Amino acid sequence: MLSVHTILFYEDEIKAWVTDEPAVVSRWIREVKHFHHRKLRRLIIGLDIEWCLSSESNSNFPQVATLQLCVGHKCLIFQLLHARYIPKSLFMFLANMNYTFVGVGVDEDARKLTKDYGLDVSCSVDIRGLAMNRLRNDLWGYKSLKKLFKEILHKELEKPKEITLSKWDNKVLTHRQIEYGCLDAFASFELGRVLRASSVNRVFDGWCVRIDENFLFEKDIYP
């Protein structure tokens, strides 16, 4: 199943694909690679997850329900919990050391994806640490995605608690859930783009390492 939603956010129009079908995920990845073929060695991807309480009555550990990815104005919400299987293309996409996956708490999100589904994210950069490095102030390391987006990009990102705590394991997500999930990944992408997250990660001899460069805002266009 695939549903396509248009999310309007200030001057941006984001296309969100919502699916539990592996073939649709592979198609989204192909389209991203096609549109951004000139950036494939420095591609930035916003990454976020939503989770639900485990269906096992004796377990209090949350299980990842959805994976959100965003590149430019193209967003994917993959309902992992309902997928028949995870396509090889997604394993390869997340494991590509030329790609930089960004978000607030993205390292913990990556650990959850590995634990629940065996998905490994090779290169992740937490926006909080990136902001600390670029803007030379340790206080950025304690801010939420909402505050980072407001203070760096001067835009309000609504994060209503009732949506945060809603049932992300539902087979059919509401429009508000889709908007929430899409904008979290989009905000992460935008912050990563503006703060030049791709310049932090470099690959040497098969290892993904992080290097420091002088801070510079860069206008990099992603359709």
Q: What is the mean pLDDT of the chain?
A: 86
Q: What is the pLDDT of residue 135?
A: 80
The vertex-78 CA angle with 102 and 129, nearest 5°, equals 10
Q: Work out the pLDDT band at 11, boundaries 50, 70, 90.
A: very high
Mean per-residue pLDDT for 108-121?
96
Q: Work out the pLDDT band at 208, boundaries 50, 70, 90.
A: low
Q: What is the pLDDT of residue 52?
A: 84
Q: Work out the pLDDT band at 218, boundaries 50, 70, 90.
A: very low
Q: What is the pLDDT of residue 181?
A: 97
Q: What is the pLDDT of residue 130?
A: 86
Helix, coil or strand: residue 142: helix
CATH number of this structure's domain 2-210? 3.30.420.10
Q: What is the pLDDT of residue 196?
A: 79
Question: How many angstroms separate the CA atoms of 61 and 98, rounded?
Answer: 32
Question: Tokens 């899409």 identify what position?
Answer: 182
95 with 104: CB under 8 angstroms? Answer: no
Mean per-residue pLDDT for 145-162?
92
Residues facing 83 on adjacent strands: none
Mean per-residue pLDDT for 100-116?
95
pTM as predicted: 0.86
Q: Work out the pLDDT band at 180, boundaries 50, 70, 90.
A: very high
- Whether 213 shows a pLDDT value over 80: the answer reads no
Q: Work out the pLDDT band at 134, boundaries 50, 70, 90.
A: confident
Q: Work out the pLDDT band at 96, boundaries 50, 70, 90.
A: very high
Q: What are phi and psi of 146, to 5 degrees?
A: -60, -45
Q: What's the DSSP call for residue 157?
A: -
- Whether 154 shows a pLDDT value over 60: the answer reads yes
- Whether 124 shows a pLDDT value over 80: the answer reads yes
Mean per-residue pLDDT for 33-54?
85
Question: How many angstroms separate the CA atoms of 121 and 49, rounded?
Answer: 13
